[in-house]
Structure 1
């Protein structure tokens, strides 16, 4: 099975186009996720992109590291965005 590199690249391009079209006002509006603004979602995507990039770099060296700071390797417990944050 081939890695879905082309699909991942296209998904990133689609996300970039969608985000580039948002005004500052639209970014602060509610998302489809209860309690999350669009800026919460964008911050979450940014944090995850950085994390997965770091995991990939370590994996290429044969190293297993925690996905999130303060947690062991494996899934992180769910968190709620901070109240009052855009």
Structure 2
């Protein structure tokens, strides 16, 4: 937990420093320093949801051809 907390503080310091170097404004730097992580957190939540759905679709597609082949083979055997 200490490593995560120290990384978070470092991230905020870097964000503030870079934004201040680019804009020269303490107000803008402060806003970007705290708004960016909040927006990034929300975006990460939706990205995770998308990624999980994508993985489920890939898994379903990987299973589908095997199931379809078995079903058609049984139907052909029953027809003979």
> Given the two structures, how large is their TM-score scaled by the length of structure 2?
0.35
Which of 1 and 2 has greater Rg? 2
> Given the two structures, how large is their TM-score scaled by the length of structure 1?
0.33
The structure, 1 or 2, with the larger RCO (C-alpha pairs under 8 Å, 6+ apart) is 1
